[in-house]
Amino acid sequence: GQNIDQPTEMTATEGAIVQINCTYQTSGFNGLFWYQQHAGEAPTFLSYNVLDGLEEKGRFSSFLSRSKGYSYLLLKELQMKDSASYLCAVMDSNYQLIWGAGTKLIIKP
């Protein structure tokens, strides 16, 4: 079967760095997406990785290792507005997105 695993909840301090991990087992791989979802709102796109390595975009970076079926999202200089759920999704061989349940990130002052 297809499976995406990520921690249910994480807590971090404002100004700090946090790493959210995602492991996957899917039928085929056409890239991995990270989305941010604030409570009661729609998911919004953060990043896309299809090749191994690190993609940096401002305070957010995303890493992919295809051989390990592993990705992480790194958030630096955390701000209170970063409190949200972070969704990992893998595009399978049919170009359909398989979604993880999301990681709720709580930022404390």
Partner 1 sequence: IAGITQAPTSQILAAGRRMTLRCTQDMRHNAMYWYRQDLGLGLRLIHYSNTAGTTGKGEVPDGYSVSRANTDDFPLTLASAVPSQTSVYFCASSEGSGRANEQFFGPGTRLTVL
**Which residue ranges make up the site for partner 1 (CB under 8 A)?**
4, 8, 30-31, 33, 41-45, 48, 50, 87, 89, 91, 95-102
Neighbours of 90 (CB within 10 A): 25
**Please, how many CA atoms are within 13 Å of residue 61, restricted to the half-sphere of its CB?**
12
Residue 59 DSSP SS3: coil
Nearer to partner 1, 70 or 99 (CB): 99
Decide whether 33 or 78 has the Cβ nearer to partner 1. Answer: 33
At closest approach, how far in Å is the CB of 17 from partner 1?
25
Are 26 and 92 in contact by the 8 Å Cβ rule? The answer is: yes
Smallest separation, CB 2 to partner 1 (Å)? 9
* Least spacing, CB of residue 13 vs partner 1, in Å: 26
In contact, 25 and 3? CB cutoff 8 Å: yes
Three-state secondary-structure class, residue 27: coil
Would you say 83 or 92 has its CB closer to partner 1?
92
Nearer to partner 1, 34 or 72 (CB): 34
Residue 5 CB, nearest approach to partner 1 (Å): 10
Cα-based distances in Å from 76 to 5, 40, 72: 22, 24, 13
